[in-house]
Amino acid sequence: MSEVIVLFEGYSNKLDKERMEANCSCVLIKGPKTVIVDTMTAWDKDRIIDALARHDVEPEDIDFVVCTHGHADHIGNNNLFLKAEHIVGSCVHKGSIFYEKHLQGAEHQLCEGVKVLRTPGHTYDDVSVIVESTVDAEKVTIAVAGDLFEKEADLENPEMWQNLGVPELRKTQAENRFLVIMLADYIVPGHGKMFKVTEKMRRLAEYQIPVDLNESTHAWRNSTIG
């Protein structure tokens, strides 16, 4: 089992028509390997170093850096971790060496109990990290999902994720949200607090998958569930 530590909770707030204040969730995974998921903005260097130190981890101790996608608020401090293998979306590299094991398959195992899944939708190249862990001494599965999920509230209000992702990938994102929420007991979203998955949430995610009517149009299931 691996320990999942949310170093920083992500957030996003619309300031006006042209500006948003946002930063991503940053997660430390301590187990057979030490993993950091999403390294925030370039202005967060000292905050990350200090947060790692509070958990007895130095940047040199990190084995894997995983960035759920390549947006600036998720990759800003990758260069702190020069001894680590980096997975940015589906691209795997260390220094200037890029590996053939790009994440073309369904999953990529980092170590026992920690794997990376390709979950495109928010961008063409998103991944999620699936971790076997414990919460209150109970065995659970935690998904560090990046912006596949904006925050818990986007299950009740799907426009929150639909308006931020690639329009052409809305169906793909809906399908991958359902895949992940069926796997996970807890989800760390890209811009909100970790939340516990409920059966109602799973039904909401399922009903947000569009139904194909023909090649050019989709119908969206009614996502109002009591």
Please give the average per-residue pLDDT across 64-85, as a whole number.
97
Residue 70's nearest CA partner among 116, 123, 22, 7 is 123
Q: 3 vs 212, which has greater pLDDT?
A: 3
Residue 211, pLDDT score: 80
Please give the average per-residue pLDDT across 111-140, as a whole number.
96
Q: How far is CA 34 from CA 60, 100, 117, 155, 178, in A?
A: 10, 23, 18, 31, 28
* pLDDT surpasses 80 at 102: no
* pLDDT surpasses 50 at 116: yes
Partners of residue 93 on adjacent β-strands:
86, 98
Residue 187's nearest CA partner among 222, 223, 161 is 161
Compute the distance between CA of residue 177 and CA of residue 158 in angstroms, rounded to an integer: 11
Assign 103 a pLDDT band (cuts: 50, 70, 90). low
Please give the average per-residue pLDDT across 33-38, as a whole number.
98
Longest dimension (CA), the chain: 55
Assign 90 a pLDDT band (cuts: 50, 70, 90). confident
Please give the average per-residue pLDDT across 193-204, as a whole number.
98
pLDDT tens, 51-71?
Answer: 999 999 999 999 999 999 999
Q: 105 vs 14, which has greater pLDDT?
A: 14
Q: 90 vs 186, which has greater pLDDT?
A: 186
Task: Note the Cα 67 to chain centre separation in Å.
Answer: 8
Residue 217, pLDDT score: 45
* pLDDT surpasses 70 at 209: yes
* pLDDT surpasses 70 at 141: yes
Q: Which two tokens stand for residue 213?
A: 């009517």
Q: Give me the phi and psi of 15, to 5 degrees please.
A: -90, -45
